[in-house]
Structure 1
Amino acid sequence: MAEHEHGSMNYEAQEKTFAGFMSFTTKSVIVILVLLVLMAIFIR
């Protein structure tokens, strides 16, 4: 079994993935809200 030293994990890839996920989620929510507003205005 390999020895693990506390605090030695490289987490740069995890941070990049999370930042990408949050960016995608934010942009998706904005697009959905814009579409809902446009539907509310033009579809009656």
Structure 2
Amino acid sequence: MSDHSEVAYSVADGNDYQAHEDTYVGFINMAKYGTIAVVIILSLMAIFLT
């Protein structure tokens, strides 16, 4: 069997790790603020539409 102890893609040329981290942070922020927005909208609907 082949030895798989070294991860080749993490050290390969051309990997833009900074862009990867920026995309991840953007996704997490969008999910966080999107969830907060939905909670606010549902709260306002519960208050004003009942």
| Ranges in structure 2 where 5+ consecutive residues have no aligned partner | 1-6
In 2, the alpha carbon distance for the partners of 1:37 and 1:16 equals 31
Matches within 5 A, 1:23-38: 23-38=29-44
- Normalized against structure 1, the TM-score is what? 0.74
The 10-residue stretch of structure 1 (33-42 or 9-18) with the greater mean CA deviation from structure 2: 9-18
Structure 1: gaps spanning 5 or more residues:
none
Count of residue correspondences = 40
Question: What one-letter code is carried by the residue in structure 2 that aligns with 1:22?
Answer: I
Q: Which structure 2 residues correspond to residues 1-44 of structure 1 after superposition, within 5 A? A: 6=8, 7-9=10-12, 10=15, 11-44=17-50
Q: RMSD of the TM alignment (CA)?
A: 1.8
RCO higher in 1 or 2 (8 Å CA, sep ≥ 6)?
2
Runs of 4+, deviation exceeding 4 Å: none
